[in-house]
């Protein structure tokens, strides 16, 4: 499985890469939303993980760009990975097109549960995956 993690913090990327490695997944990294959008153009991913607060374009705006694509890459499941604890955060992320939200510090169980849920939802035809 190929996963893209769009996150400006190197340590957070390393922790998640190590977790995904346990499951045999391959993780591509992007340090900014802009770089992430370029990586989406260049590669194929089964899941996109994205932080909300990054220099330049924020995660919500990047999700909008991804979802506005007219191709299959615009329907890849997106999981927000954030330290933000605003009460309306989950609703805002889902309204923007995210499939799920998990919180930092990332726990392996939470990451794998969210990935399993969004992939299963797509496989049933109920998610954003074609």
- pLDDT tens for residues 33-92? 999 999 999 999 999 999 999 999 999 999 999 999 999 999 999 999 999 989 999 999
pTM exceeds 0.85 for this model: yes
**pLDDT in the model for residue 124:** 66
Statement: residue 130 has pLDDT above 60: no
Non-local CB neighbours of 22 within 8 Å, separated by 6+ positions: 108
**pLDDT in the model for residue 128:** 44
pLDDT cut 90: percent of the chain above it: 90
The answer to whether residues 73 and 2 touch, using CB atoms and an 8 Å cutoff, is no
Q: Which two tokens stand for residue 125?
A: 């035809």
């Amino acid at each position: 499985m190929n996963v893209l993690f769009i996150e400006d913090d190197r340590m957070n990327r390393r922790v998640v890469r190590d977790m995904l490695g346990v499951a045999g997944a391959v993780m591509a990294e992007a340090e900014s939303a802009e770089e992430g959008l370029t990586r989406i153009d260049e590669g194929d991913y089964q899941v996109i993980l994205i932080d909300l607060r990054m220099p330049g374009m924020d995660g919500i705006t990047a999700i909008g760009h991804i979802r506005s694509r007219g191709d299959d890459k615009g329907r890849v499941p997106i999981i927000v990975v954030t330290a933000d604890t605003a009460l309306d955060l989950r609703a805002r992320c889902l309204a923007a097109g995210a499939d799920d939200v998990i919180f930092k510090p990332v726990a392996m169980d939470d990451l794998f549960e969210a990935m399993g849920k969004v992939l299963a939802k797509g496989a049933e035809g109920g998610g954003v995956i074609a």
